[in-house]
Chains A and B, each alone.
Chain A
Amino acid sequence: MLEKMRSIICNYVDIEPENITEESNLTDDLGLSSYDIMCVLGELEEEFGVTVNEAEIVDIHTIGEAMNYIKSLQN
């Protein structure tokens, strides 16, 4: 899942994939805006066959938190 997230995020910000880790903060480290984050989550929805809840994602700030959230939806 991390590789897929790296691939998607690199379409949104000019960053080397290896610089995207689970600890990376979406805004502070990766420079994603809230619009970018929604677009990335939209792509993850399609990739992993889940539906995100906009109220639940306001508290997601890192790649790791995003991954855990997607996994929880898959379960």
Chain B
Amino acid sequence: MKEFNINGAVMKCYPLTAAQRMHFYTIKFSPPQVLCIGTGVYVKQELDFVKLKEAIYKAYQMFETMRLRFVEDEDGTMYQYISPFEERDIPLNDFSNWKEEDVYKELSRRTSIPFERCNSPMNVVEMVKMPDGYNGIYSKIDHMTMDSSSIIGFSRTVIEIYCALVYGTAMPKPMMSYIAQLEKDLAYENDSEAKKRDEKFWMEEISRSEPMYTDFAGQGRLLTQRRENGNPEQRWARVVSRSPEASISVFHLDEYASVRLMKFCELNRVTMSSLLMMGMRTVLSKFNDDEKDVSVKCNVSRRGTLSEKNSGGTRIHFFPLRTIMEPEMTFLDGIKLIEAEQNKVFRHANYDPIELTRKRGEYWKIQPGASYESISLTYQPLTLKNNTVKMPEVDYKSYWYTNGVAAQPLYLTVMHRPDDNGLNFNFEYRTDAVTKQEMEFFYYYLCRVLFRGIEDENRTIGEILELI
């Protein structure tokens, strides 16, 4: 912890956590990255914008991490502190006479503008009048301060406070202390026994055997790099590039099909994330000559305790989830194997992912920017809609706006739609690494695997690979 004089006040400033350093290194070493996450939550009814502004200010006071700022010391080391108040104006944007697609483009454009890193607010919240009678808020928040879980929490809190002010419902419960949780996280990183146990686990995982890179578009990338490097046994591939331009495509799985997946999970007592992971790794196997050894990046939100769930911040860590499956293994057994592997990852998920990537690269002597995973999966069961608020039944719309860049070739985030609980498959892809067609192809085969698998859980992986 260090003290800085900021605007005449002495502020206690803390080092960054591993989750924050992950994002910081992205912008430092892979420019021009943008860390902004844009969201919009809109309801189809007239809003009292005076009360909504008041609700937003109250939500800022509740959420310390919405007032989180950064400062650099003379050596360029970044620290963080909480600014006591949010005093900026909260404007109202009137897009009511715009076309919806133009509003989406404009808000995506705003999301692509990065924040100043030091001594600057790391978010923007604005009130919005949308076309077709929808009204609500647009938020742009820096990923070094918040992640999807805490952003959803903030949006819900604004709505809860608004309802309390307008309808007399209960105010939301106070948040838990971000600083208290931060101190726990930093204590873990400071050579704790828990960290030593996690490090031992990950070193054993790394040294078990070398994984195999499997690409969502087939073997082309790996085979090309094997030729370029004169190494026919190469098992890794370079995935980063200097051009981070990205786009998002969203596929909406209808309610009936989504419910079939959820019922399968309920009946067989497996998690949705392990089902989705099984689908993904089977498609990767199919596209890579029925490869048995498949790794996918698994994003872990690390929100277990009430303090972790309710203190805001950015906590996502990513880890490789590797499985080796024979064709004789059944679909359900494959899901259970994934759950067991995922549980191991969860148990050791506090470890620094950047440190793990570095150690793995050193151990297997792979090039900088190389990986064994081409795609990452996040399953987000929370929605931006607050189902606990006693509000008149209204139509909701919610959006996640792209900031136009990505560090990895392909991210898949699967989220529930707030209105019908159907699933949206959000593919964020780097436009220099993935074509829209390749991504659509991947989604098509993912659905084929999932529905062939849940049709008969005793179907083997080999049978599914033949059928699709």
User: What residues of chain B lie closer than 8 Å to A33, measured between beta carbons?
Assistant: 304
Residues 299-330 of B contacting A (Cβ, < 8 Å): 300-306
Closest to A36 in B: B304
Counting CB contacts under 8 A, is A73 at the interface? Answer: no
User: How long is the Cα–Cα vector from A20 to B336 in the complex, in angstroms?
Assistant: 26
B339 touches A12 (CB 8 A): no
User: What residues of chain A lie closer than 8 Å to B340, measured between beta carbons?
Assistant: 54-55, 58
Closest to B301 in A: A35
Counting CB contacts under 8 A, is B346 at the interface? Answer: yes
B301 touches A58 (CB 8 A): no
Q: How many A residues touch B, CB cutoff 8 Å?
A: 18
B343 touches A39 (CB 8 A): no
Counting CB contacts under 8 A, is B376 at the interface? Answer: no
Counting CB contacts under 8 A, is B344 at the interface? Answer: yes
B306 touches A58 (CB 8 A): no
User: What residues of chain B lie closer than 8 Å to A55, measured between beta carbons?
Assistant: 336-337, 340
User: How long is the Cα–Cα vector from A34 to B269 in the complex, in angstroms?
Assistant: 11
User: What residues of chain A lie closer than 8 Å to B302, measured between beta carbons?
Assistant: 35
Residues 79-132 of B contacting A (Cβ, < 8 Å): none
User: How long is the Cα–Cα vector from A58 to B334 in the complex, in angstroms?
Assistant: 12
Contact of A12 among B273, B305, B336, B349 (CB under 8 A): B305
Contact of A54 among B269, B304, B305, B343 (CB under 8 A): B343
Q: Contact string, A34-75, partner B, CB cutoff 8 A, digits 1/0?
A: 111011011000000000001101110100000000000000
User: What residues of chain B lie closer than 8 Å to A2, measured between beta carbons?
Assistant: none
Counting CB contacts under 8 A, is A14 at the interface? Answer: yes
Counting CB contacts under 8 A, is B247 at the interface? Answer: no
User: What residues of chain A lie closer than 8 Å to B304, measured between beta carbons?
Assistant: 12, 33, 35-36, 39
User: What residues of chain B lie closer than 8 Å to A57, measured between beta carbons?
Assistant: 343
User: How long is the Cα–Cα vector from A57 to B455 in the complex, in angstroms?
Assistant: 26
User: How long is the Cα–Cα vector from A34 to B347 in the complex, in angstroms?
Assistant: 10
User: What residues of chain B lie closer than 8 Å to A36, measured between beta carbons?
Assistant: 304
User: What residues of chain B lie closer than 8 Å to A42, measured between beta carbons?
Assistant: 347
B346 touches A34 (CB 8 A): yes
Contact of A38 among B273, B306, B347 (CB under 8 A): B347
User: What residues of chain A lie closer than 8 Å to B337, measured between beta carbons?
Assistant: 55
User: How long is the Cα–Cα vector from A58 to B306 in the complex, in angstroms?
Assistant: 23
User: How long is the Cα–Cα vector from A12 to B304 in the complex, in angstroms?
Assistant: 6
23 pairs, A vs B, C-beta closer than 8 Å = A11-B305, A12-B305, A12-B306, A13-B306, A33-B304, A34-B271, A34-B273, A34-B339, A34-B342, A34-B343, A34-B346, A35-B301, A35-B302, A35-B303, A35-B346, A38-B346, A38-B347, A39-B305, A42-B347, A54-B340, A54-B341, A54-B344, A55-B340
Residues of B within 8 A of A (CB): 269, 271, 273, 300-306, 336-337, 339-344, 346-347, 349
- 13 further interface pairs, Cβ-Cβ under 8 Å (given A54-B344, A58-B340): A12-B306, A14-B306, A33-B304, A34-B271, A34-B273, A34-B339, A34-B346, A35-B349, A36-B304, A42-B347, A55-B340, A57-B343, A58-B339
